[in-house]
Amino acid sequence: MTDATSQVRTHETDHIARLIKALNALEAQFREQRARLQKQGMSLPPGTLAGLQRIRSELETLAQHFATVSTELQRLRELGRTTEVINSTLDLDGVLNEVMDTVIFLTRAERGYLMLRNPDTGDMEFRVARNIEHRSLSENESIISNTIVEEVARTGQPVLTTNAGQDPRFQMRVSVVSYALRSILCVPLILKGSVTGVIYTDNRIKQGLFGEKEKELLQTFANQAAVAIENARLYERLQASLAEITAMKDLLANVFASIASGVITTDAEHRITAVNDTARRILGLDDGDVIGQRLSDVWPLVHDDTLAAVREDGIDETVELETDIEGRGAVNLSLHFSPLRNTEGQIEGVALVVDDVTESRRREAQLNVVRRYLPPAVVDNIQNIDRLGLGGERRMITILFVDVRRFSAFPPGMPPQEVMALLNRHLTIAADAITQQAGVIDKYMANEIMGLFNTQLNPAEDHAWHAVLAAMTMMDEFAQFYRALGEPPGALYYRMGIHTGEATLGNVGGEERREFTALGDAVNLAHRLLENAEPGQLVLSADSLRHCQPALEALGDKLTIAAREQLQVKGRREAVDVCRVVRASGYAEG
């Protein structure tokens, strides 16, 4: 309602009130005159007072009618204003609150509730509740007749009751009785023939508050509100979808940028549609914008025929090539072409994944060289050792130490060069025996060799037995070697120690130069056993014997195993349980 219209209606209302007041004063004067005339035996003209009363009654009726019309006009104007407001915004919460405030104004209800149907469950759910003071009500204050709400939601027909407590339709309902509900008006929100929600208003004090006019007015407003609410809900879902799409797009962009491989996508015309930083780095592309350029123009090594074949045949293709890239030199690249499909499965272009395999090819070449000198199983596990970095891991292993020949056992006066040559022949026999049993030679220490079994390089469940077999091979090979040298019968020079226990295995050194080794008490103990061995003896710890005793017993008389004994070794307070092993048939008998 405009200010000018409001002023006019206020003026008209005041004018009618002044007329009624003047008539009341005139009637009082006529009554005084009638009393005076009656004393003198006279009277007023017939119908004078009745005429005044009739005029006053008509003015009061006019005033009441004018007030009713004014209220209706005010409601209609508010209805029009609110309809315009709710249809001009897409904020769902704002629309719902505006709708409920207007409903309470139009119906003069004490409270108003708006429920919307959940599209997933189909249930009616509270969305907003307001009172006559435009205050939002909490869930605990939501006192309604669920029966009426369910009926309106089911039938799509409004429900009006002027006194719910005496209405035969609802007087036996628990909510009506317990909450002492009086005037209730509930109308559906209908959109395209379906009930999308319900507007519920009531007054627990006044009865007869709502009538047919309020029902028709509220239903008209509800029809408009249903459209506005649905538009706001659609917009809210659209915003949520856009937010989800944006988040997914950002995630894909981050994933695309962080992929370790280079990725390039092209369209049906072989023009680049996307390229990540890795691809730029691998291919030596500048920071210029290559999007929209033909891939063959940006990188001539990829021919249009290749892209066309992948796109038309719909098959993957992998190519490896060696080329020169400016600023990088010779590189090895692995190119994987695959069809790029849309959501409907139609091929729209090609996806190219580029991997720089230069370093791996260089390492493979190095390993191929190493394979000529080391057992294949050892070489295949070298990469696993490299992944450990500078550090290690605890592992159960068997350690074999062998002293091939003490320097004091070489012929006196032998020149150093000959001593070195003869020592190397002894070391070769021991090293060959260890590697034949898949052992890893940890290090050479002058006349000693340290061999490891069951490391990350040579995993084996029966590692203790492999160490014993290596020792037996050495015994036989040394016996034959002694005979070839013309050593006196019964000459024995080697000594060995074997122990099985937990040690730390890993890399020591620096980034450029490192060594794989084993550290720990188990290693120290194995060397102490070697130190306590007599020439031609293997000192075997009880821990190693326990791992391979059945296999040793199966050898029969090929080995002589002395009774177990307690050996006190340097650096240990407690004695170590060991046994001494010698070859039953050797050089002396051969």
User: What span, in angstroms and rounded, lies between the C-alpha atoms of 3 and 515?
Assistant: 95
- Identify whether residues 20 and 166 lie together within a single domain: no
Report the CATH number at residue 116.
3.30.450.40
Classify residue 448: in a domain, yes or no. Answer: yes
Q: How far is CA 106 from the centre of its chain?
A: 50
User: What span, in angstroms and rounded, lies between the C-alpha atoms of 279 and 81?
Assistant: 60
- Identify whether residues 124 and 45 lie together within a single domain: no
Residue where a domain terminates, one of 237, 268, 296: 237
Classify residue 370: in a domain, yes or no. Answer: no
Q: Where are the beta strands (DSSP E) in 283-346?
A: 317-325, 329-341
User: What span, in angstroms and rounded, lies between the C-alpha atoms of 102 and 583?
Assistant: 108
Count of positions (residues) in the chain: 590
Residues of the chain with pLDDT under 50: 1-2, 4, 389-390, 586-590
- Identify whether residues 72 and 93 lie together within a single domain: no
Amino acid at 28: A
Per residue in 437-487, pLDDT (tens digit) is 989 888 888 889 999 999 888 888 899 999 999 999 999 999 999 988 888
Would you say 560 and 585 are in contact if contact means Cβ atoms under 8 Å apart?
no
Per residue in 198-253, pLDDT (tens digit) is 888 887 767 667 778 778 777 877 777 777 778 777 877 888 877 887 777 776 66
- Identify whether residues 395 and 349 lie together within a single domain: no
Please, which residues bridge with residue 565 across strands?
578
* Residue-range definition of the domain harbouring residue 322: 260-360
Report how many domains make up the chain: 4
- Identify whether residues 404 and 537 lie together within a single domain: yes
- Identify whether residues 392 and 463 lie together within a single domain: yes
- Identify whether residues 72 and 102 lie together within a single domain: no
Determine the pLDDT at residue 557. 72
User: What span, in angstroms and rounded, lies between the C-alpha atoms of 319 and 31?
Assistant: 120
- Identify whether residues 336 and 406 lie together within a single domain: no
Residue where a domain terminates, one of 18, 43, 78: 78
Would you say 75 and 69 are in contact if contact means Cβ atoms under 8 Å apart?
no
Would you say 538 and 472 are in contact if contact means Cβ atoms under 8 Å apart?
no
Per residue in 121-159, pLDDT (tens digit) is 888 888 777 776 667 776 666 677 778 888 888 998 988
State whether the Cα torsion 164-165-167-170 is positive or negative: positive
Determine the pLDDT at residue 64. 67
Determine the pLDDT at residue 370. 58
Furthest CA-CA distance within the chain = 182
Q: Report the chain's terminal Cα–Cα distance, integer Å.
A: 128
User: What span, in angstroms and rounded, lies between the C-alpha atoms of 389 and 452?
Assistant: 20
Classify residue 139: in a domain, yes or no. Answer: yes
> CB burial class (10 A; 0-12, 13-18, 19+) of residue 85?
middle
- Identify whether residues 115 and 222 lie together within a single domain: yes
Report the CATH number at residue 312.
3.30.450.20
Model-wide pTM > 0.75: no
Determine the pLDDT at residue 508. 66
Classify residue 460: in a domain, yes or no. Answer: yes
Which tokens in the block code for residue 120? 């997933």
Classify residue 170: in a domain, yes or no. Answer: yes
Report the CATH number at residue 490.
3.30.70.1230
Classify residue 161: in a domain, yes or no. Answer: yes
Amino acid at 196: T
Would you say 527 and 499 are in contact if contact means Cβ atoms under 8 Å apart?
no
Classify residue 464: in a domain, yes or no. Answer: yes
- Identify whether residues 425 and 325 lie together within a single domain: no
- Identify whether residues 69 and 125 lie together within a single domain: no
- Identify whether residues 103 and 74 lie together within a single domain: no
Residue where a domain terminates, one of 328, 360, 392: 360
